[in-house]
Structure 1
Amino acid sequence: LYRDGVTPGEAEIARRVAHYWKPYHDRLEAELARLKAAHGYALLWDAHSIRSVVPRLFEGQLPDFNIGTADGASCDPEPASQVLRATKPAQGYSAVLNGRFKGGYITRRYGHPQDGVHAIQLELSQRTYMDEAPPFTFREELAEKVRPVIRHMLTTLLDWAKPNRGQA
């Protein structure tokens, strides 16, 4: 993550945790509690992007949509399956549920479907919206194609929650 010689020391790490990590997680936890109190459930969509090929992490190329629920521990299986199915009509894209990226810290920490808090992680392959080589150019024509797919995934998740009120 850091170049040799520029790794932060213990004091800098502690400062970053206190100034960035802790306030972020405190606010996220409070917002999830607020949503659950207001609606009886909360949905957490944790989205990131990654290069499609990362040799130091895995062989081969990642699918375009990597959906993770910590193998079902962070989200009821039905909405997760529906979100995966929402990618299928999209021509030319690939998708997987709980493949290489099963959900990171946020998904595992905050997703508790038995308590009405459902967390899904999306690890989106960067090739769906940008050039993955320098100068890493954003490609509007690619983004225009992937936006409706992501919108459909989110709408599908919201549609599931309405009648079910997020209860597993």
Structure 2
Amino acid sequence: MRFTQPLSYRLDLPPRYPESDPSAPLVLDSPHSGTAYPPDFAAAADYGALRTAEDTWVDDLWSDAVDMGAPLLAATFPRAYIDANRAPDEIDELLLDRPWPGAVNASPKVRLGKGLIWRMLDDGTPLYDRKLPVEEVEHRIEACWKPYHAALRQLLDGAHRKFGKVWHINCHSMPSVAGAYATDQPGLVHPDFVLGDRDGSTSDPAFREFIAAWLRARGYNVTVNDPYKGVELVRAFGCPAEGRHSLQIEINRKLYMDEVSLRPTAGYGRLKADLRELTAALILWTRAQTA
């Protein structure tokens, strides 16, 4: 079976940024901003529906971080093709043409149809009218999931080597209201921001509390580990005992875009400016923690 191999990520580095000598102990990644839909995807859902799975504009909203000294990694493959923020064993065997040859983790997200390879969109729309060959899923893991995780690990390791500590922001967006098949709380009205560190297991709580206080001071409604605690990327890379602090940040899409047309709204400029100021504050704060 032949596959088209997509480019798996885009890495935006600050000017004069050598990966072996980063200028700040802060790294950002956006795993769901990809819009390069591979020809081998062959999804049954139409393109407009597929795009609702994206974290549209999130990589751009945080992009000012790059000129300020923090690298930004962004997936180029779409989340509906393979989700970089799920574990590689979160396999939905209902999708497959035969049993998966390795271990399978039937997590709550898999049962919702939102495993490593999605079975349906947030509104219940099926993605496929076919069974997926095991080889097709294995290809997506090799071509997209593994390179993305390897690139993020390299960035985090480089900052950790220089500073002895590293702070990682895993950047996401969420709909204003949870979809019927998005979470185990369908219909939930979301706050402006949700900060998730898996109940303090992926980061020193001081990281999330600094960000929460900063955002609340500017009038945003912020919750912590509710309803989103953080998923695979913060779990895989956060280890506060080793000075590795990973935090997932979910931004409510109503703050910056029309959720139907996906076009930016009047609030886009204000939010992007606020995220720029937050990033500047974080760079100073993280440097102070390593002084």
- Asked whether the two chains share a fold, i.e. TM above 0.5, the reply is yes
Structure 2 match to 1:39: 163
Q: Distance in 2 between matches of 1:61 and 1:151?
A: 26
Q: Distance in 2 between matches of 1:73 and 1:122?
A: 15
Structure 1 match to 2:224: 97
Structure 1 match to 2:263: 137
> What per-residue deviation string (whole Å, max 9, x for no partner) do you get for residues 26-84 of structure 1?
12112211111112111111101121112322232111111111111111111210110
1:7 Cα shift? 5.5
Instruction: Give 1:101's aligned amino acid.
Output: Y
3-state SS of the aligned residue for 2:277? helix
Structure 2 match to 1:160: 285
3-state SS of the aligned residue for 2:267? helix
Structure 2 match to 1:106: 233
1:85 correspondence with 2:210: no
Between Structure 1 and Structure 2, the one with more helix by share is 1
3-state SS of the aligned residue for 2:216? coil
Matches within 5 A, 1:33-72: 33-56=157-180, 57=183, 58=185, 59-72=187-200
Q: Distance in 2 between matches of 1:44 and 1:136?
A: 27
**Contact 1:82 1:156 (8 Å CA) reproduced:** no
> What per-residue deviation string (whole Å, max 9, x for no partner) do you get for residues 98-155 of structure 1?
111111110111011111111111111111110112x22222x211121233233333
3-state SS of the aligned residue for 1:88? helix
Moved over 6 A (4+): none
What value does the CA root-mean-square deviation take over the aligned residues? Answer: 1.8
Q: Structure 1 residues 132, 6: closer, same or farther in 2, change over 3 A?
A: farther
TM-score, length-scaled by structure 1: 0.88
Q: Structure 1 residues 6, 126: closer, same or farther in 2, change over 3 A?
A: farther
* Structure 1 alignment gaps of length 5 or more: none
3-state SS of the aligned residue for 1:67? strand
3-state SS of the aligned residue for 2:212? helix
**Contact 1:83 1:154 (8 Å CA) reproduced:** no
* Structure 2 alignment gaps of length 5 or more: 1-117, 120-126
3-state SS of the aligned residue for 1:87? helix
Q: Structure 1 residues 40, 25: closer, same or farther in 2, change over 3 A?
A: same
Structure 1 match to 2:65: none
Residues paired across the two proteins, number:
163
Q: Structure 1 residues 53, 42: closer, same or farther in 2, change over 3 A?
A: same
3-state SS of the aligned residue for 2:230? coil
Percent of pairs identical after alignment?
25
**More contact order relative to length (CA 8 Å, sep ≥ 6):** 1
Q: Structure 1 residues 10, 32: closer, same or farther in 2, change over 3 A?
A: same
**Contact 1:79 1:160 (8 Å CA) reproduced:** no
TM-score, length-scaled by structure 2: 0.53
